[in-house]
Amino acid sequence: MKQQSESISASNPNRIQVVFKRDPPKKANEPLSASINSIVHSELSILFNELEGLVGLTDAKKTIYEIYALHQINKEREKHGLHLEKQVFHMVFKGNPGTGKTTVARLFGKIFREMGILTKGHLIEVERADLVGEFIGHTAQKTRELVKKAMGGILFIDEAYSLARGGEKDFGKEAVDCLTKSLEDLNNDFICIIAGYNEEMENFLELNPGLPSRFPIHIDFSDYNVDELIQIAHIMTKNKDFELTVEASDKIRRSLMTIVNNPFQLNFSNARHIRNCIEKAIRVQAVRLLRSNELSREDLIHLKAEDFAL
């Protein structure tokens, strides 16, 4: 407790009046996201709220909050002349398709820009064909040009393990070697994120001895469970000015339960599967409504169970 004031009452000069002010109670176990959101500026708060609005992605959210906290504390250490470790933010995103890797990479770029880690925060998304050339020297040139375009932002390499598929004589290894050098030379204003399946990414990092140390941050993108996928379905339809009827939602849930419980199901595309189902349902709904003479707003909005061919 802090003593706020001490005064002698005018009516009784022999009595001392003491007023105490209690410190406001601290919230126990306040989520890290809430703690950080209460102190960041408005633009960064908007981006953090956008990240929090994404379903799942626990590891990605935890990692970016840790980076923000570290960045702020390093500023305080710098004020006091304390030693600062050089931070490397190149990342490996590991997970199946449709788990939000590209969405998070794009959002990370904007967050890093607002934090002052990157000057632009844009995302350059590439794959094997964009990096690997057709003759000796061509690959290095293409890779350097893409890194140059990504300066100030993020170079996002999807299915990065495909660079290792051609064997020793393939130009993919040349792209990896060139990229490894760029990671060392241009680390101040450039972040590289490589993404792909869990096991394949682990094997890819063994392609060049210098790769593992240059990608210190690994983020796992877990498959969504059925409840999360249903939540995603409702968000997607709402963003398109549609609504799922109860029957449609139940039909999607039954279909998802069949998929996730199938031990022989491989490479399930998670949110991408939901998006494809909804886009197909919207087309089916359009055909169904075309036969009607008069359409209400509810008719146009509602996606019914019969619109989903599951």
φ/ψ of residue 95, rounded to 5: 170, 170
- In this prediction, residue 93 carries a pLDDT of 97
Cα of 6 vs its chain's centroid, Å:
54
Q: How far apart are CA 291 and CA 306, in angstroms?
A: 15
Given a contact cutoff of 8 angstroms between Cβ atoms, the answer to whether 47 and 53 are in contact is no
Q: How far apart are CA 160 and CA 74, in angstroms?
A: 32
Given a contact cutoff of 8 angstroms between Cβ atoms, the answer to whether 114 and 285 are in contact is no
- In this prediction, residue 9 carries a pLDDT of 46
Q: How far apart are CA 195 and CA 275, in angstroms?
A: 21
- In this prediction, residue 8 carries a pLDDT of 46
Given a contact cutoff of 8 angstroms between Cβ atoms, the answer to whether 144 and 182 are in contact is yes
- In this prediction, residue 12 carries a pLDDT of 57
Tokens of 149: 């375009």
- In this prediction, residue 207 carries a pLDDT of 77
pLDDT in tens, the chain (310 residues): 444 444 444 555 566 555 555 555 545 566 766 767 667 778 899 999 999 999 999 999 999 999 999 998 999 999 999 988 778 899 999 999 999 999 999 999 999 999 999 999 999 999 988 988 777 778 889 999 999 999 999 999 999 988 877 655 667 788 888 888 888 777 678 899 999 998 889 888 887 788 888 899 999 999 999 999 999 999 999 999 999 999 999 999 999 999 988 888 777 899 999 999 999 999 999 999 998 888 999 999 999 999 999 8
- In this prediction, residue 30 carries a pLDDT of 65
Map residue 157 onto helix, strand or coil.
Answer: strand
- In this prediction, residue 2 carries a pLDDT of 45
Instruction: Name the pTM for this structure.
Output: 0.82
Given a contact cutoff of 8 angstroms between Cβ atoms, the answer to whether 195 and 160 are in contact is yes
Burial class (CB in 10 A: 0-12, 13-18, 19+), 133: middle
Q: How far apart are CA 252 and CA 238, in angstroms?
A: 16
Tokens of 214: 């240059």
Packing angle, helices 270-290 and 246-260, rounded to 10: 140
